[in-house]
Structure 1
Amino acid sequence: MYEIAPLLDDPIHNLKTIRDLYRWAITEMETADLSYGHGSPDSWEEASFLICRALKLPFEHFEEFQDAALTHNELVRLVHLVDRRVHDKVPTAYLLKEAWLTGHRFYIDERALIPRSYIAELLEEDLAPWIEDPYAVSSVLDLCTGSGCLAILAAGVFPNAAVTGSDLSEDALEVAKINRRDYDLEDALELVRGDLFENLQGCTFDLIISNPPYVTTDSMSRLPSEYRHEPEMALGAGADGMDVVRRLLPEARRHLNDNGIIVVEVGDGLEAVEAAFPGLELTWLSVSGGDDQVFMATKAELDRYFGA
């Protein structure tokens, strides 16, 4: 039983319905210094997501249940969750062990970064026009796979591809294994532990996607509390945020098939990428966060720059 006695002042005792709790949760979130960088843009959506999914209600029918009365156990659990979100600054995805990306549900806990990536938007569009025929893609690598979310999305987009997810963190790969099982991809998705291409010698791919660590040292020191619950190794990447990308790109060309491409997310790191690789011909792709978040390079471009 959750200990919530200190929280249950008279106003909370009077909460009866989902609508009551929803209103109260928004007020609690609005009066707290919360960061909403893990899926919900504001307290309204955060509160609705937390309540809806904690009660296992479908998003599309949430409003139909708002006047439903809560049982005592439901109220106790929900108040406890809101309290942890507001006072401990635990991201809702970790509280619920659930995150959603482009309409897909993923298991998540504090062993891995909460699923979020602009690359998911590009996969929704089959990476067109850069990939002409998704059925012709035979191999995909998701480097720094974390929870495995992008690898799993890629498996759905490229049905004839053998998909590999690689990560240095054994803990993150344990989370990826849960998601692989949930999507029934044990035979279609290989998970490899290694530092970038360390254990992928001799392996080449038509497509490499990667959402690597890219947060600068200065930005790491100023992260909101919510991000402190995530694995630091999945975020921090040195003074300019390029520690991982600086190692990744020179090696990538050896693991791309002819006509292969690599797609990398770097946050707002356009200037840092161009400073690290002056003269490298990159294509910056348009995503909802802007035109400076994700770049693409071809094997031919990488060979020309780094030497075949």
Structure 2
Amino acid sequence: MPQNIHESVSRLRTIRDMVRWAMTRMESSEISFGHGTDDTWQEATFLVLRALHLPFEKLEAFWDARLTADEIIKITDLIERRVTEHVPVPYLLHEAWLVKHRFYCDEDVLIPRSFIAELLEDQLAPWVQDPEAVSSVLDMCTGSGCLAILAAEAFPNAHVTGVDISPKALEVARVNRADYEMEDQIDLVLSDLFDMPEVKTKKWDVIISNPPYVTTAAMESLPDEYRLEPSLALEAGFDGMDVVRRLLPEAADHLTENGILVVEVGDGREAVEAIWPDLPLTWLTVSAGDDLVFLATAEDLKRYFKH
């Protein structure tokens, strides 16, 4: 970091001082949000507290805590990387939070975020009437493994399989699986959808997926923060449906008789309905609306794709 930056923060003493300075730096920059925070207040408080390994929900308890010189240098360096290099905070800290769960993340995976996480908090009710009766779950395009872990918690008797095409992503998923001590409950498989033998012949009660769904055109206008994420986890062709277009017909063969498929597609509802106008889909309500995540039953998928 330039010497003048360190000189400018030489009089900062407390967490309150550091958060205020961080907000000023962020407000004067052109950073974008959306990786767990929505504004400079959330971004600054999260960055400062978690860089110090403090619980961000207890800000008031530490508000006037004094920082050491080394802590001030560490945090100001992180802030400068955030505003000058546009590195998302979860990559700076190697930490992201999703529905009150902490996950390790780095530049090899999409930063954990999915509206399916909200649905798993409710154990996919009312579509799953007895969560303890679910014996198998597949998380297709698992990335960091965050949804696989949430599914394992939601369905305690289920064996969960996380599948991804990226070996590096699966390395991150293994870290998170170990952090939650779920090595016996979660298998992680390298496969392009259902191609590999470990998944080719299996069936699951529940399949969830947050696949790539960003259109080629939209990729060109993404903020710098999103460009630091792996394009493999984002880009999905001219209509954003390259992966989903393959997933649905194949999923019909990999669901148990009463199984369900839950897929997040962002703003891709129009594209989905254009591809399969007569396929019965239920669009589920999440915090951001009712056109981001759909559910299909095994019965409807098999009938539609004539499996």
Match of 2:268 in 1: 269
What is the CA-CA distance between 1:228 and the residue it aligns to?
1.0
1:183-194 to 2 correspondences below 5 Å: 183-194=180-191
Q: Distance in 1 between matches of 2:71 and 2:7?
A: 17
Match of 1:5 in 2: 3
**Partner deviation per Cα, 1:261-298 (whole Å, 9 max, x = no partner):** 00000001110000111211100000011111000000
1:26-105 to 2 correspondences below 5 Å: 26-105=23-102
Q: Which runs of 4+ in 1 moved over 4 A?
A: none
**Residue identity in the other structure for 1:60:** E
TM-score by length of 2: 0.98
**Residue identity in the other structure for 1:290:** G
Q: Distance in 1 between matches of 2:57 and 2:42?
A: 13
Q: What is the identity percentage for the equivalent residue pairs of Structure 1 and Structure 2?
A: 61
- Structure 2's unaligned 5+ residue stretches are none
Asked if 1 retains the 8 angstrom alpha-carbon contact of 2:264 and 2:292, the reply is yes
What is the CA-CA distance between 1:9 and the residue it aligns to?
3.5
TM-score by length of 1: 0.98
Match of 1:130 in 2: 127
1:220-239 to 2 correspondences below 5 Å: 220-239=219-238
**Residue identity in the other structure for 2:33:** Y
**Partner deviation per Cα, 1:193-243 (whole Å, 9 max, x = no partner):** 000111211110000000000000110000000011100000000000000
Match of 2:116 in 1: 119
**Residue identity in the other structure for 1:238:** G
Match of 1:243 in 2: 242
Q: How many residues align?
A: 305
1:204-223 to 2 correspondences below 5 Å: 204-223=203-222
Asked if 1 retains the 8 angstrom alpha-carbon contact of 2:6 and 2:73, the reply is no
Match of 1:175 in 2: 172
- Structure 1's unaligned 5+ residue stretches are none
Residue of structure 2 aligned with 1:139, choices 136, 139, 146: 136
Once superposed, what is the RMSD of the aligned Cα atoms? 0.8
Asked if 2 retains the 8 angstrom alpha-carbon contact of 1:26 and 1:44, the reply is yes
Asked if 2 retains the 8 angstrom alpha-carbon contact of 1:197 and 1:251, the reply is yes
**Residue identity in the other structure for 2:104:** Y
Tell me, what secondary structure is at the counterpart of 1:108? Answer: coil
Match of 1:307 in 2: 306
Match of 1:294 in 2: 293
What is the CA-CA distance between 1:4 and the residue it aligns to?
4.7
What is the CA-CA distance between 1:6 and the residue it aligns to?
3.7
Asked if 2 retains the 8 angstrom alpha-carbon contact of 1:4 and 1:79, the reply is no
Q: Distance in 2 between matches of 1:293 and 1:226?
A: 22
Q: Distance in 2 between matches of 1:95 and 1:54?
A: 9
**Residue identity in the other structure for 1:115:** P
Q: Distance in 2 between matches of 1:213 and 1:273?
A: 13
